Structure 1
């Protein structure tokens, strides 16, 4: 008798009947937490105090995930999302929660993670949160493109939640207003180009010296397309650049100097670069397409100022800034007469940081390139320092902190975009004899679950 293969059911993906769940709290990723049959159930979109109708979509041994169908009893802090694209777009995930409750949740999530994984945090260690505007705070965004072969149109927008699909948008309420206003006209423009089937992402930036757009292209543009882009940039008073397959950036249009900054910021190829000021205008920080910069300009300014206040740099001190980027902390630290060393793993950002030091006439500042997750024993810059600042990516700075005994700083300021890795790395500092003195939540990303934090450690 012939036998046919029959796949075994995937128990982790079996859908349950619809359930009534009571949500008690949020996890640090913004999902509601409920209990069902002795398991923790995560319900994205649900809020503490709510009774909801949901369906289990994934079941593990100790927890399950569920899809929210209906809020039967809403929480007092539930609000209607302001953005018309909220249910589809993957950019924001807490717009259904009022802003004060969002901030309370982030503060609690940060202290709970630190207390659970590193050290018990008491009220004397918690500094006042740094908060700012809840809407139109992003000075930079990357929009994805997708050419629809059926409709012959190019879609411009953000990725859908947990998907590679594009949600075509007309506006974005967390983007700076001038950038949000460019989305619809840019969509219309790109659909006029002959190259619309081969275009990549579009990066928009609002800087202190004007608006910037970088269009990713996979093939050389035809003259007619270039002219359309140039005319569009001129009519919108915007600097326009294109980036090719080799990541080379070429300027198509620069706003005349009488309508942009008089102090033109340009790279070696003469392309004008976006810039922002730090340390009450004492220094300018310039960055290129692809360089990391904090998207919330106001919170970044205040974060840098707080880090400097905590470090209290003194003349002739040696201060090390790891994961320094283009000099966001290093440049203002160097204005305090300390000897500052910045180290970064991305060569392009190291080059830009060096140029920024030259442009600001900072001779007490040096930058080095290094893989900060590798063996640093032979690094020329590694040695005894007075103070240390770290601003790593989400993965944290665990490997770099293994060299702490060689550096022996009196103070450490750790800036983190992932409280879980901050808590893990705090254990290393505590084991090395450091004590947590201050912990601060910075609301860098309102309307999302993302938490920016900063911690001050001092040697006992």
Structure 2
């Protein structure tokens, strides 16, 4: 394969470093802005190429020794080669790049709120089990890399990993994947014996119960700031919380709206949302099990002052944003874990007469290129 020398100019969406050599635009994973590298091209199409690092000729000032011994082999983290301030700066650039290219939106530098701890923060994990091997997929592979300890996991989850490894070594696990979640007190595994147990998280005075298999934000250290920003400053008669999960945003919204309707496709999550509302004495929230696209096309979605949506990484279903635009809510709060999907949808909303009042990002996923962004819009 062809080998080239180049300098990484910046970090772009998907966490790749971008550099230029021999008339090619080359994307390189696991790089840091300012690195001088020797790379081997792994893929080329016309003037675009992808490469892997063969040698770091001159390290960037941002480059550090990764805190995890599995980094580079494990397919999980892809930012551990950068110090934490550089990670935050890269995420700000990634969001700005996506907004400009896909949304035609040119904002000043996007603020990224730092995680209080860039390690030991993660409260959820999914491990692959192959015989006595327990870990994550190897980078760019479906092979499993055996992991004894993961530095981004909360301490209770590393305890859980040890338990799963012990069960696998004794042959008592007959499954190929284990989901795990933890709060400050305990961990729960998605095994037949443990899945009926609940975990709990306190957010802005509300107590939420969830399971290891139900969606809940993985970084509890930033949840309160995220929820406060996404729901703050809104009030009125009716709000919709789309992709509501277990009611994380629904319950705070209920304090400032006469009625809040949470919409969620998962039957497990919707039952937990109802239970969480009842346990917290929230009587003005109702929950509908439905696809979001179907609900926003129904009469029940009409006359909302605010629509808050928090879609999965794959984004909203095709046609959903167009239906939200037809509803003409006074305000929209869009929570997104994919800047490209957010930019795509913001472009539609701005063309329909909405303006961005505020936009802020939250680093829920340190050591990876992923980032949570919240855009708050109003109808102009």
TM-score category (smaller protein) = over 0.9
Matched, 1:34 2:12: no
The RMSD of aligned alpha carbons is 2.0
Matched, 1:290 2:213: yes
- What is the 5 A alignment of 1:330-349? 330-349=250-269
- Say which SS state the counterpart of residue 103 (structure 1) adopts: helix
Match in the other structure for 1:273? 198
Q: TM-score scaled to structure 2, two decimals? A: 0.94
- Say which SS state the counterpart of residue 365 (structure 2) adopts: coil
* Alpha-carbon distance, 1:272 to partner: 3.2
Match in the other structure for 1:371? 291
- Using the alignment, how far apart are the partners of 2:360 and 2:314 within structure 1? 19
* Alpha-carbon distance, 1:215 to partner: 2.5
Match in the other structure for 2:116? 132
- Using the alignment, how far apart are the partners of 1:340 and 1:87 within structure 2? 45
Match in the other structure for 1:302? 225
Query: 134, 139, 143: which is aligned to 1:165?
Result: 143
**Equivalent pair of 1:86/1:92 in contact (CA under 8 Å):** yes
Match in the other structure for 1:445? 365
- Say which SS state the counterpart of residue 436 (structure 1) adopts: strand
* Alpha-carbon distance, 1:210 to partner: 2.7
* Alpha-carbon distance, 1:209 to partner: 5.2
Q: TM-score scaled to structure 1, two decimals? A: 0.78
**Equivalent pair of 1:278/1:332 in contact (CA under 8 Å):** no
**Equivalent pair of 2:129/2:177 in contact (CA under 8 Å):** yes
- What is the 5 A alignment of 1:413-452? 413-452=333-372
- Using the alignment, how far apart are the partners of 1:344 and 1:167 within structure 2? 34
* Alpha-carbon distance, 1:308 to partner: 1.8
Match in the other structure for 1:355? 275
Q: Which runs of 5 or more structure 2 residues have no equivalent in the other structure?
A: none
Per-residue CA shift, 1:127-150, capped at 9, x if unaligned?
A: 563532110000111111002xxx
- What is the 5 A alignment of 1:1-40? 15-16=1-2, 18-40=3-25
- Using the alignment, how far apart are the partners of 1:121 and 1:113 within structure 2? 10
Which is worse superposed, 82-91 or 367-376?
Answer: 367-376
Q: CA 1:337 to 1:35, structure 2 compared with 1: closer, same or farther past 3 Å?
A: closer
Structure with max Cα Rg: 1
- Say which SS state the counterpart of residue 202 (structure 1) adopts: strand
- Using the alignment, how far apart are the partners of 1:365 and 1:207 within structure 2? 25
Matched pairs, number: 379
Match in the other structure for 2:129? 145
Q: CA 1:126 to 1:90, structure 2 compared with 1: closer, same or farther past 3 Å?
A: closer
Q: CA 1:119 to 1:177, structure 2 compared with 1: closer, same or farther past 3 Å?
A: same
Match in the other structure for 2:84? 99
Match in the other structure for 1:313? 235
Match in the other structure for 1:82? 67
- Using the alignment, how far apart are the partners of 2:112 and 2:211 within structure 1? 33
- Using the alignment, how far apart are the partners of 1:290 and 1:418 within structure 2? 22
- Say which SS state the counterpart of residue 176 (structure 2) adopts: strand
Q: Which runs of 5 or more structure 1 residues have no equivalent in the other structure?
A: 1-14, 148-153, 217-239, 242-248, 250-270
Query: 151, 155, 179: which is aligned to 2:133?
Result: 155
Query: 288, 311, 314: which is aligned to 1:392?
Result: 311
Matched, 1:189 2:167: yes
* Alpha-carbon distance, 1:62 to partner: 3.5
* Alpha-carbon distance, 1:288 to partner: 2.5
Per-residue CA shift, 1:226-270, capped at 9, x if unaligned?
A: xxxxxxxxxxxxxx51xxxxxxx4xxxxxxxxxxxxxxxxxxxxx
- Say which SS state the counterpart of residue 180 (structure 2) adopts: strand
